[in-house]
Amino acid sequence: MNEISQIFEIVNFGLVILDNELNVKHWNQWMARHSGIEADRITGAFLLDFFPELNTPRFLRSCKMVIAFGNFSFFSQKLHHFLFPFKPDGSFKSMFEYMQQNCTLGPLRNDLNAITGIFLIVQDVTELASYEQKLVEMNMKDGLTGIYNRRFFQTRLSEEYERHTRYAGMLSLIMFDIDFFKNVNDNYGHQCGDSVLKSVAAKIGSIIRKTDYLARYGGEEFCCLLPQTDLAAARRLAERFRLHIEALMTPCQGHDINVTISLGVSGLHGEDSEEMLLKRADQALYDAKNSGRNCTVVMP
């Protein structure tokens, strides 16, 4: 084995050489290890016979582009996730079903510069993708309750507002707050306060639709954005929130803690801005607090 061939086997990424008809000429150790297909079994075979999932317009176009133009072609993890369906390394199995890959295709030429084949490089970027995913999640979610954070909520609100003004749909908002939350902290301690926040968020999260966005807006204040929902439906939903929380018991350090919530509901209409939608929900919540708490106030 000459030196270059040794390197071909040693490198810590996938290297495949195909002829112009996409038959495998070389298949390195890395590819064998991750695919479970040994080089001698796949060498000489049509690549798509072993990987029918590569039979896509995108992959075939890329190969043609390499062969006809000598172009390079790139399959980024961001858009394609992977080219070859390999299992990820153990520690990432819970996060990704398949190894995340960046792949590059390019031409190989002979001494006369004629294209004689394609090289294919497969890089495992699962670890990087997992960090990115975690960062994205941390940026979106509230650390304590696991529901969306205020920043993400604002972004979604802007996007839904845009969509609403463009397609004239309906958009409602429920803002709610745990009544006398300070007493929970004072009577049972902050750990129990945290438990209550978590269980309230989890309960409400289990009631809403997949298309709704629940976020922790402030300390014990929450917001729920309801796309394609009119005011009457939003009010009914708010009442369901209220009744569910009224019936909810949070066990903590030998106590069963029960809290109630006050809710404000508003809907977007006419020449409204996003700020006005928020402001009216906030005002409605304030009115609910002043009307004795554990109730819902609608401000259309």
Partner 1 sequence: MNNTQISEEERDILQEIMNIAFGQAAAELAEIINIFVVLSIPYIRMIEAVDLPDYIRTEFSEFGNISIVEQNFWGDFKGTALLIFPAGSGKELISLLDDTPPPVAGSQSSDILEKETLMEVGNILIGACVGKVAELLKDVVTYSPPRVIVEDHPDIMMPKTLFDPTNSAIILKTIFCFNERDVHGFLFLITSHKSVAWLKTALADFMKQYE
User: CB of residue 78 vs partner 1: minimum separation in angstroms?
Assistant: 6
CA atoms within 13 A on the CB side of 177: 21
**Per annotation, catalytic residue among 220, 221, 239, 246:** 220
CB-based contacts of 220, cutoff 8 Å, min separation 6? 177, 178, 181, 197
- Positions in the binding site for partner 1 (CB under 8 A): 56-58, 61, 64-65, 68-74, 76, 78-81, 104, 106, 109, 113, 136, 155-156, 159
Residue 214: strand pairing partners: 224
Quote the CA–CA distance of 160 and 268 in Å, as a whole number.
11
User: CB of residue 217 vs partner 1: minimum separation in angstroms?
Assistant: 18
**Residue that has been written with the tokens 């004689």 in this structure:** 116
Query: How crowded is residue 287: how many other Cβ atoms within 10 Å of its Cβ?
Result: 15
Complex with partner 1: residue 100 or 199, whichever CB lies closer: 100
User: CB of residue 83 vs partner 1: minimum separation in angstroms?
Assistant: 11
Complex with partner 1: residue 43 or 76, whichever CB lies closer: 76
Residue 39's alpha-carbon distances to 28, 43, 181, 208, in angstroms, are 7, 6, 65, 52
Residue 285's alpha-carbon distances to 45, 70, 207, 250, in angstroms, are 68, 64, 20, 24
Complex with partner 1: residue 109 or 236, whichever CB lies closer: 109
- 29 with 46: CB under 8 angstroms? no
User: CB of residue 123 vs partner 1: minimum separation in angstroms?
Assistant: 11
Complex with partner 1: residue 12 or 113, whichever CB lies closer: 113
97 catalytic per annotation? no
Question: Which positions are annotated as active-site residues?
Answer: 220
